[in-house]
Amino acid sequence: MYQNEIIVDGLQYCHWDRAYFESLQKSGVTAVHATLVYHENARETLTRFAEWNLLFERNADLIMPVMSMEDIRSAKQCGKVGIFFGAQNCSPIDDEIGLVEVMRKQGLLIMQLTYNNQSLLAAGCYEQEDAGITRFGKQVIEEMNRVGMVIDMSHSAERSTLETIELSARPICISHANPSNVHSALRNKSPEVIRALTARGGLLGFSLYPFHLPDGSKCSLETFCQMIAETADEVGVEHLAIGSDLCLNQPQSVLDWMRNGRWSKSLDYGEGSASNAGWPAALPWFPDSSGMKNIYKGLRDIGFNEAETTAVMGGNWLNFLDAGLRPAL
């Protein structure tokens, strides 16, 4: 049944070229949440949109832009891969609240309030002090709710995340993170956060980034699926999805840009150890072309029924975004 379903990967930042788009199409993935920017400011973000416009033009037989969930359904019907954009930081809006609506109209559907560090809106997960949502942050949350831009707190600290869940009039997502009780990475989320997120209708995308998994790159498919099953037992399968955090075929310079941006003169190892300075070894059961299909099978093997499996593999993202992207009345 896999090939008949809508399959959504809720976060990737791979090397975007025709060879990879062909691989995505072959994999059966219907749509991908592609990171547009990490630390780019508003002007630089517009250039990223222009770069993607050229990719869409040159690869129109393989990929198409997604501005609404109807576009994902259309992508499925015509055998293309839908691409929808998110920012892993609030840098695209600079310090100007009006740019929230501008970026939304350009096609930025999802935005994180911070990426690891303190931003103008919230605290990142690597800050020693988490003062919660700032005055500017509260207004940006309200504006994102108004224009139909989804709030993502994947890289945010505990208090900031809990306050955002409470402040937002709409459910938010954590597009790519895992429960902290299976791995203590600072990026993973506590039981309190996951309960609060899902109680308000939010969505958790499970990450396949090895630094966030039990046993790292040696994490088995069964262990990964068991983590999803245990979380489903606690909060309900309707709140769970996949956000692989796949960064395939990217050079070390991209990893350095993610972690350091322009803010640091020294290397920031992110996960707290120089041993994690480079890309982790890939999971052997999540190659570029059959990874999502393997998860689909793994969930069925561990006891998920067909409806539950298709929900986790794409249906929950589709329903969540269908509601979250509509502008407020």
pLDDT of residue 274: 55
Ranges assigned E (strand) in 200-293: 203-206, 240-242
The token duo for 81 is 């891969």
Q: Rounded distance, CA 164 to CA 5, Å? A: 32
Tell me the per-residue pLDDT of 88-143, one tens digit each, with 9 for 90 and over.
Answer: 999 999 999 999 999 999 999 999 999 999 999 999 999 999 999 999 999 999 99
Q: How far is CA 161 from CA 74, 118, 197, 260, in A?
A: 34, 13, 9, 22
Q: What percent of the chain has pLDDT over 70?
A: 97
Q: What is the mean pLDDT of residues 191-220?
A: 97
Size of the chain in residues: 329
Closest to 10 (Cα-Cα) out of 207, 161, 188, 144: 207
327: confidence class by pLDDT, cuts 50, 70, 90? very high
Residue with the two structure tokens 């072309």: 289
Please report which helix (H) or strand (E) contains residue 315, including its range: none
Q: What is the mean pLDDT of residues 139-159?
A: 98
Tell me the per-residue pLDDT of 234-283, one tens digit each, with 9 for 90 and over.
Answer: 999 999 999 999 999 999 999 989 888 999 888 776 555 555 778 999 99
Q: Rounded distance, CA 155 to CA 88, Å? A: 8
Q: Are 304 and 313 in contact (CB under 8 A)?
A: no
Q: What percent of the chain has pLDDT over 90?
A: 91
Please, what are the domains in the chain?
A: 2-111+171-318 (3.20.20.140)
313: confidence class by pLDDT, cuts 50, 70, 90? very high
Q: What is the mean pLDDT of residues 303-328?
A: 97
pLDDT of residue 171: 98
Tell me the per-residue pLDDT of 159-193, one tens digit each, with 9 for 90 and over.
Answer: 999 999 999 999 999 999 999 999 999 999 999 99
Instruction: Tell how far CA 100 is from the center of its chain.
Output: 19
Kindly calculate the radius of gyration of the chain based on its CA atoms and give it in whole angstroms. Answer: 18
Q: How far is CA 129 from CA 16, 166, 199, 280, in A?
A: 36, 20, 26, 28
Burial 133-156 (b: 16+ CB within 10 A, else e): bbebbbebbebbbbbbbbbbbbbb
pLDDT of residue 273: 54
pLDDT of residue 269: 65
Count of beta carbons in the 10 Å neighbourhood of residue 172 = 26
Residue with the two structure tokens 């994690």: 276
Q: Work out the mean pLDDT of the chain and round it to a whole number.
A: 95
Q: Are 312 and 137 in contact (CB under 8 A)?
A: no
Q: What is the mean pLDDT of residues 213-237?
A: 97
